Amino acid sequence: MSDTTALVSTGPVEPPRPKVGTLRTLARRPVAVASATVLLLIVLVAILAPVLAPFDPDKTHLRLTNSLPNGTYWLGGDRSGRDILSRLIYSTQATVQAALIATIVAVLLGVITGLVAGYYGRTADVIGSWIANILIAVPGIIVLITLYAAVGSNQRVAMVALGILLAPNFFRLVRAMTMSVRNEYYVDAARVSGLGDTRIIARHVLYAVRGPIIVQAAFAAGVAIALQAGLEFLGLGDAGTPSWGGMLLEAFTNIYIAPVQLVWPGIALALVVSALIVLGNCLRDTLEGSKPRMRRKECASRLDVEIVTAQGDEPVLTLDGLAVEYRTDHGWKRVVHDVSLTVARGEVLGLIGESGSGKSQSAFAVLDLLPAEARIAAGSLRLALRRPCGSQTRAAALGHSVAYIAQEPRSNLDPSFTIGQQLVEGIRATTSRTKGGAKAYALELLEKVGIADPARTFDSYPHQISGGMAQRVLIAGAIAPEPELLIADEPTTALDVTVQAEILELLRDLQEEHGMAVLLVTHNFGVVADLCDRVAVMKSGVIVETGETQQVFDHPKDSTTRALLDAILDVDVVRESDAPTGVSA
Ligand SMILES: Nc1ncnc2c1ncn2[C@@H]1O[C@H](COP(=O)(O)OP(=O)(O)OP(=O)(O)O)[C@@H](O)[C@H]1O
Q: Is residue 116 within 8 Å of residue 179, measured between CB atoms?
A: no
Left if phi > 0, otherwise alpha if psi is -120 to 50, otherwise beta: which for 315?
beta
pLDDT at residue 392 in the model: 73
Pocket of ligand 1 (CB under 6 A): 326, 335, 353, 355-361, 371, 373, 523
Instruction: Quote the CA–CA distance of 544 and 341 in Å, as a whole number.
Output: 12
Residue of minimum CA distance from atom 5 in ligand 1: 326
**Mutation pick for ligand 1 pocket among 288, 296, 326 (CB with most ligand atoms within 8 Å):** 326
Give the nearest ligand 1 atom to 538 CA: 21
pLDDT in tens, 434-486: 999 999 999 999 998 888 899 999 999 988 898 888 988 998 898 888 899 99
Instruction: Quote the CA–CA distance of 176 and 167 in Å, as a whole number.
Output: 14
pLDDT in tens, 21-36: 677 878 888 999 999 9
Q: Is residue 229 within 8 Å of residue 237, measured between CB atoms?
A: no
Instruction: Quote the CA–CA distance of 11 and 380 in Å, as a whole number.
Output: 31
Q: Is residue 336 within 8 Å of residue 536, measured between CB atoms?
A: no
Instruction: Quote the CA–CA distance of 89 and 30 in Å, as a whole number.
Output: 26
pLDDT in tens, 101-154: 999 999 999 999 999 999 998 899 999 999 999 999 999 888 998 988 888 888
pLDDT tier, 301 (very low <50, low <70, confident <90, very high otherwise): low
Cα of 360 vs centre of ligand 1, distance in Å, is 7
pLDDT in tens, 371-383: 888 889 999 999 9
Beta bridge partners of 548: 534
Residue of minimum CA distance from atom 9 in ligand 1: 361
DSSP 8-state class, residue 203: I
Alpha helices in 480-542 (DSSP H): 497-514, 525-531
Q: Taking 80 as the threshold, does the pLDDT of residue 500 lie above it? A: no
Q: At a CB cut-off of 8 Å and minimum separation 6, what does 167 contact?
A: 105, 106, 109, 110, 113, 132, 135
Cα of 542 vs centre of ligand 1, distance in Å, is 13
Q: Is residue 38 classed as helix, strand or coil in its secondary structure?
A: helix
Residue of minimum CA distance from atom 12 in ligand 1: 335
Cα of 521 vs centre of ligand 1, distance in Å, is 13
Residue type, 74: W
Question: Who wins on pLDDT, 186 or 268?
Answer: 268
| Direct distance between the N- and C-terminal alpha carbons of the chain, in angstroms, rounded to an integer | 23
Of residues 107, 32, 21, 39, the one with CA closest to residue 289: 21
Residue of minimum CA distance from atom 4 in ligand 1: 326
Would you say the C-alpha torsion 516, 320, 365, 323 has a positive or negative sign? positive
Instruction: Quote the CA–CA distance of 565 and 411 in Å, as a whole number.
Output: 30
Q: Is residue 81 classed as helix, strand or coil in its secondary structure?
A: coil
Residue of minimum CA distance from atom 16 in ligand 1: 358
Q: Is residue 86 within 8 Å of residue 55, measured between CB atoms?
A: yes
Q: Taking 50 as the threshold, does the pLDDT of residue 47 lie above it? A: yes
Instruction: Quote the CA–CA distance of 269 and 321 in Å, as a whole number.
Output: 55
Q: At a CB cut-off of 8 Å and minimum separation 6, what does 408 contact?
A: 9, 494
pLDDT at residue 297 in the model: 47
Cα–chain center distance at 255 = 48
Q: What Rg, from alpha-carbon coordinates, does the chain have?
A: 32
Whether complex ipTM tops 0.90:
yes
* pTM, to two decimals: 0.61
Instruction: Quote the CA–CA distance of 142 and 425 in Å, as a whole number.
Output: 47
Lowest mean pLDDT among 21-35, 115-129, 353-367, 563-577: 563-577
Of residues 200, 212, 203, the one with CA closest to residue 176: 212
Q: Taking 60 as the threshold, does the pLDDT of residue 299 lie above it? A: no
Give the nearest ligand 1 atom to 541 CA: 14
